[in-house]
Amino acid sequence: MGDLIGRLRDGLPEDAVLTDPDVMRSYATDMASFCAAGAPGAVVLPRTVEQVQHVMRTATALRVPVVPQGARTGLSGAANALDGCIVLSLVKMDRIVEIDPVDRVAVVEPGVVNADLSRAVAEQGLYYPPDPSSWEQCTIGGNIGTASGGLCCVKYGVTAEYVLGLDVVLADGRLLKTGRRTAKGVAGYDLTRLFVGSEGSLGVIVRAVLALRPEPPQQLALAAEFPSVAAACEAVCRIMRRGHAPSLLELMDGTTVRAVNSMARMGLPESTEALLLAAFDTPDPGPDLAAVAELCREAGATEVVPAEDAAESDLLLQARRMSLPALETLRPATMIDDVCVPRSRLAEMLDGTAAVAERHGLTIGVCAHAGDGNTHPVVCFDPADPDEARRARESFDEIMALGLKLGGTITGEHGVGLLKKEWLAKELGPVALEMQRGIKQVFDPLGLLNPGKVLDA
Amino acid sequence: MGDLIGRLRDGLPEDAVLTDPDVMRSYATDMASFCAAGAPGAVVLPRTVEQVQHVMRTATALRVPVVPQGARTGLSGAANALDGCIVLSLVKMDRIVEIDPVDRVAVVEPGVVNADLSRAVAEQGLYYPPDPSSWEQCTIGGNIGTASGGLCCVKYGVTAEYVLGLDVVLADGRLLKTGRRTAKGVAGYDLTRLFVGSEGSLGVIVRAVLALRPEPPQQLALAAEFPSVAAACEAVCRIMRRGHAPSLLELMDGTTVRAVNSMARMGLPESTEALLLAAFDTPDPGPDLAAVAELCREAGATEVVPAEDAAESDLLLQARRMSLPALETLRPATMIDDVCVPRSRLAEMLDGTAAVAERHGLTIGVCAHAGDGNTHPVVCFDPADPDEARRARESFDEIMALGLKLGGTITGEHGVGLLKKEWLAKELGPVALEMQRGIKQVFDPLGLLNPGKVLDA
């Protein structure tokens, strides 16, 4: 270990190498529940590409595994430390290098916080859509590594859609440039997209060229109350079938609504079984909102309340963003699932989730990016009760099995990490798994980059 | 060869194996100029996935190279035959399996013609945006293989944005399923995107799940005349900087305008140096069109003519779509370049292209997807004149060199194929090239899939 620290220090500033065990422990985990984490051998916080290259060369020379990290807000354990590893935190590489309103691109370092970038581009009339719940903390590098989503996706897609090109330090320290800065480009295999969602297992992203959009008008929302989750899902189907393009289409089940009310007194309807939020950010959202209100009523909504203005719309969004923290107050611990199904199967997914909860005698609150069919069932339980903990884990797994049965995926936006490795193998099947392993081998032949994440070695 | 034909016939219907040399010759090339093509050993036209698997198993057993083909409208020689190869034409696998307006997906076989799909989804109020010039002939499989673009890209992006999942027959005949049918999904490395633009060199696409959008209103266009190409490019920059989202933003230089007029008597302004076409497909395009007209005037437009209605807008588009055939009438042959630069560098790119033409004493007409910075300089020449042919080739190369110098790419949407292999190496550099070769090796270890295309072995 002494050799490791010494060699790291040879190419890094004094304050960029942390070795205090307590400090290192604070870098050991992301926000996933119940994923194993080891004790790092060193934590490094480089500020330049050259320093990252030095770290990777050292790791390769000494055959030490490296765990790249952003703000550690991930939900799948992908950023968890391994025993003796180098934790490579990119948070100090946090410069916005360039924002270009004609080319509509931003060039950023990986440690830039999502919200900082969003605000910086907004000052120039531009919009960087990806907005994961943790947007005030999470970094762009982490967003790319985990292919983050958010509330915007139903209209604007996920992080992947906004990554045009990358600079990546490979396992052996060489610098790879992928992609482009142009609007279009098809020169060779798409390496850029391979890194999006690769959770630090193929290389270390040290710079990104991101696509931007013109800033849309502020969105205007409505809230619709339904007597059942299935009715709310039927409304979602009707809205999409009718060709609407909402900028937001979110669902909170009754459990979630009541949890949010009791945490924050939001005044949401206490007795509802499902609350659907829809918004439009077009210059004239009135006709769309009116049509969607009518479709909600046709699907069984008992009440439809349009927001008076953008401020009231923001309040509805805040309520939605509180879902997870609110559900976390219900029991000592939670496990958050992230199953995405074709939206036509959403009602089956959510009814099936309720059946799982009932069968196991557990509270499972659900919020969902309904327009995308992406559900977040939150399994609430007490880990101190071994039987309850076992039932929680079984529920978590049954929910993924149901998602696969309905033609869905085990992860819409949270990634695989440690949490869902076994399930990834089930989703992909042996041929795809073999190809995935082959790709890992191309970029990281020694298996030093975040080993044991995403795929087993 | 007898063994090859016999073994192919073992698993294919009688009419699915073509061996007549004249017939086979008609399958030997795509629409690229001046790319070498060999004489196929067999041409096969399977109708099922199992038949494609049989072809690939046979190819692997006998170590015979395979060239996958769609409608052979490609412009880079990627579909050109190799001596003794199996030409694997997918045009008979042409079923639209499913169109789902709630999930907004289409499931198709690779031989479906782009325009057939576009019309079929339109019947259900849906929109499949990618619209390459050859859309009435080209197939979805070919579009995916070459990552095709079109006129729609400035607002709707390229084919890659619409491919959610693929079924792929690997070189050894195994079936690989990639991606998803859901709106979101991050389960493992993105293999889907790796196949988009891989020009048949990684596997044979036998089914695709495509994302659809709601059909937008018909677009309304305007045409603006400029006294110089640079002034038109300045208008493009102002339009994008101001946050407009045109559904079309196309440029034709004076040479192209006059060629279109003389071929089709379109009544375009004869004396203009650059014609810019802009369109919007929003519910109320009036304010955007008025603002864009004003921006064009500020950038120096001498005349701005709004289309009266959708029909007149269509006429303008037709004129644009005629650019290439019209330029082809100017000299016995053409070479079409496909350089894409950041749109802020478009004026430099086009002025530089004019300088190349002048230096070599050649006619080079330019049409461009200006909003994307994607230019198509068409080098017009007589191949019977060796000196002129040499100057044409030099011009073609100098245009790519200029594109790279301006931070662009050698190919925005036409692909690499045989035509630009050497240039791909220049654009990517040695590290990226090594990674690309590694990926090829994972999927095609024997080098049987379209060998010598995209990358040298």
Instruction: Specify whether the CB–CB gap between B198 and B450 falls below 8 A.
Output: no
Q: With CA atoms as reference, report the closest residue to A389 among A343, A315, A332, A330.
A: A332
Q: B412 vs A184: CB contact, 8 Å cut-off?
A: yes
**Quick check: B128 pLDDT over 80?**
yes
Q: Taking 80 as the threshold, does the pLDDT of residue B352 lie above it?
A: yes
What's the pLDDT tens digit per position in A108-123? 999 999 999 999 999 9
Burial class (CB in 10 A: 0-12, 13-18, 19+), A116: middle
pLDDT in tens, A112-155: 999 999 999 999 999 999 999 999 999 999 999 999 998 999 99
Query: B188 touching A, CB under 8 A?
Result: yes
The shortest CB-CB distance from A180 to any of B188, B343, B409 is to B409
Q: Which of B182, B213, B414 would you mutate first to test chain A, the one with the most A CBs within 10 A?
A: B182
pLDDT of residue B1: 56
pLDDT computed for residue B14 by the predictor: 95
Contact A39, A21 (CB under 8 A): yes
Q: So what's the pLDDT on residue A236?
A: 98
Percent of chain B with pLDDT over 90: 95
For domain B218-321, give the fold: Alpha-Beta Plaits (3.30.70)
Domains B218-321 and B330-420 share a fold: yes
Task: Spell out the residues 6+ positions from residue B284 whose beta carbon is closer than 8 angstroms to its own.
Answer: A283, A284
Residue B150 binned pLDDT confidence (cut-offs 50, 70, 90) = confident
- Any CB–CB contact under 8 A between B64 and chain A? no
Structure tokens belonging to residue B118: 């576009």
Q: Is B428 on the interface with A (CB under 8 A)?
A: yes
Among B176, B194, B240, the residue with its CB nearest the CB of A190 is: B194
Half-sphere exposure of B284 (CA within 13 A, CB side): 6
For residue B431, give how far its alpha carbon lies from the nearest alpha carbon of chain A (Å). 6
> Cβ separation of B412 and A158 shorter than 8 Å?
no
Q: Are A414 and B373 an interchain contact pair (Cβ–Cβ within 8 Å)?
A: no
Q: What is the ipTM for the molecules in this complex?
A: 0.96
Nearest chain B Cα distance for residue A318, angstroms: 23
- Report which residue type is found at B268: L
CATH architecture assigned to A2-89: 2-Layer Sandwich (3.30)
Spell out which residues of chain B touch residue A213, defining contact as CB-CB under 8 Å: 245
**Average per-residue pLDDT for chain B:** 96
- Which chain A residues are within 8 Å of B101, Cβ to Cβ? 240-241
- CA B241/CA A357 separation, integer angstroms: 51
Q: What percent of chain B has pLDDT over 70?
A: 100
d(CA A11, CA A49): 12
Mean pLDDT over B391-415 rounds to 97
Q: For domain B330-420, give the CATH number.
A: 3.30.70.2740
Q: Residue B409 is nearest to which of A104, A146, A187, comparing CB atoms? A: A187
The stretches in chain A having pLDDT less than 70 are 1-2
pLDDT of residue A169: 98
CB-CB neighbors (< 8 A) of B234 in chain A: none
Please report, for chain B, the start and end positions of each structural domain, with discontinuous segments joined by +: 2-89, 96-214, 218-321, 330-420
Backbone torsions φ then ψ of B132, nearest 5 degrees: -60, 155
| Distance separating alpha carbons of residues B329 and A93, to the nearest angstrom | 55
Predicted pLDDT of residue A28: 97
For residues A452 and A454, give the distance between their C-alpha atoms in angstroms, rounded to a whole number.
7
Question: Using CA atoms, how far apart are residues B307 and A10, in angstroms rounded to an integer?
Answer: 67
Which pair of tokens denotes residue B444? 């095609």
Rounded to a whole number of angstroms, the CA Rg of chain B reads: 22
**Across the interface, do B214 and A454 touch by the CB < 8 Å criterion?**
no
In angstroms, the separation between the Cα of residue A378 and the nearest Cα of chain B is: 19
Q: Does B407 touch chain A (CB under 8 A)?
A: yes
Topology adopted by domain B96-214: 3.30.465
Count CB atoms within 10 A of the CB of residue B123.
9
Q: Strand, helix or coil at B421?
A: helix
DSSP secondary structure code for residue A271 in this structure: T
What superfamily does domain A220-405 belong to in CATH? Answer: FAD-linked oxidases, C-terminal domain (3.40.462.10)
pLDDT at res. B187: 94
Return the pLDDT at A34.
81
Q: Is the pLDDT of residue B2 over 90?
A: no
| Beta carbons of B432 and A188 less than 8 Å apart | yes
Q: Which H/E stretch holds residue B193?
A: helix B191-195
